[in-house]
Amino acid sequence: MSDSIESIIRAVEEEERTLLFPTFTNDDALRLGGLLVDLARERSLAVTVDITRGDQQLFHAAMAGTAAHNDVWITRKVRTVREFASSSYLVGLRAQKGGTAFEDAPWIDPLRYAGHGGAFPITVEGVGMVGTVTVSGLPQRDDHALAVEAITTFLATAGSGSDG
């Protein structure tokens, strides 16, 4: 990997600063989830997709080739985002930059939390973090990138006259 960990951290921090939703409704979760499923199908990706608002799961889909264990990873990644108010990828990268694996920190239960990419905070402008969008099944950087790509596309088309 040619990118330094510092430059990757800066890029992810910038994603979190700029990928803000004006609102986030149940219909938005369905549209965003559908977009992720479409991307996965087009690319033949074996991923599980999950979208929450608060404690409510609004969208969940498992593509062919996934397993129930992807749901375990999703749960751990979502807990990490909720605990640290940052993407699970950024949390893991910061620990790595500090010289350790996130799960090796003495205050982290690795059965409950995962500092691996794929869970991204859903942040509403003027409100704060309201939920998560999570992808599981690819290498962590790719899980993160797929979630970010879908959010970026969703936000770019949100004001283009769509109905929800």
pLDDT at residue 30 in the model: 98
Q: CB atoms < 10 A from the CB of 94, how many?
A: 17
pLDDT at residue 95 in the model: 95
- Domain 5-156: CATH class, spelled out: alpha beta
The number of C-alpha atoms within 13 Å of 43 and in the hemisphere containing its C-beta is: 12
**Mean pLDDT by 10-residue block, N- to C-terminus, for the chain (164 residues)?**
84 98 98 98 98 97 98 98 97 94 91 96 98 98 98 87 42
Q: Strand 119-124 and strand 20-21: pairing? A: parallel
Q: Which regions of the chain does DSSP assign to beta strands (E)?
A: 20-21, 48-53, 56-62, 119-124, 128-136
pLDDT at residue 1 in the model: 40
pTM equals 0.93
pLDDT at residue 94 in the model: 96
pLDDT at residue 159 in the model: 61
